[in-house]
Amino acid sequence: MYIEVEKDVRVFVQDLNPGPSSKTIFFVHGWPLNHNMFQYQFNVLPQYGYRCISMDIRGNGQSDKPWGGYSYDRLADDIFVVLEQLKLEDIILLGFSVGGALTIRYMSRYEGRHVSKLALVDAVSPSFVKAPDSPYGIPKEQANALISQMYANLPKFLSDLSVMFFNRNKGSEMLNWFINLGYQSASYALIKILQAASNEDVTKDLSQIHVPTAIFHGIHDQLIPYQSAQLTQQQINGSQLFPLNNSGHGSPIDQSDDLNRLLMQFINTP
């Protein structure tokens, strides 16, 4: 289905296992991907009665691809419109990578409306770029170089990124799948979202989260170091950190069985 989030901008939403359900999980994907990155969750979780709803962030996947509107605030607003339109309540909001940053901004910007629990998976938090209060990010110059690479040679950029994404050799088929997900996005959208990640952070948003929060993070993450997850956990009151010992940045794929099990445990804990 499609939901209009602002005039002439529609985002694609997939709803698996709708109807009476004990729990609804709303998935927000990472960059440079789309909702299909969660297929190893969608293959399993509905079997246990979970309703799994996911959206393609504007500019990505099957969503409209406007030229503008890629700030953290606007993308968080898109999440809010979708949750409102679907009349969802007491959901588990799950954000991966940049989607993690967007869900954090959403929780702060909308005071956690519609959400009973938050799950952050390899989240870009507190920041993507190194800052005084978030020292584990990459240098600003490196972020600018990544953006320049996308302008110059997007296929090589996605190919190089695919190798860094996983902890283990997943084979050429998996890497090609990852790259093809990136090709389903508008290149200007990928550039603008990475620019937003480079210029924004969610440090001040973390203290505004007041629901049970689980942080799942690969200890071999080459893109968002595990220390960033530890710092995030320290700043969200009462949150729990679950290290994924065999994962890089792509833990929903690297360690899908363990992530699914831990996620269900978190959801089912009173």
Active site residues: 97, 221, 249
Beta bridge partners of 175: none
User: How far, in Å, are 25, 50, 79, 117 from residue 199 at the CA level?
Assistant: 29, 36, 21, 28
DSSP for 164-201, please give it: HH-SS---HHHHHHHHHHHHTS-HHHHHHHHHHHHH-B
- Burial label for 167, CB within 10 Å (0-12, 13-18, 19+), is buried
Determine the Cα angle at 225 with ends 220 and 227, to 5°: 110
Long-range contacts from 111-114, C-beta under 8 angstroms, 24+ separation: 111/208, 112/209, 112/210, 112/211, 113/80, 113/83, 114/83, 114/84, 114/88, 114/89, 114/90
CA gap 101, 202 in Å, rounded: 7
Q: β-pairing, 23-28 with 9-16?
A: unpaired
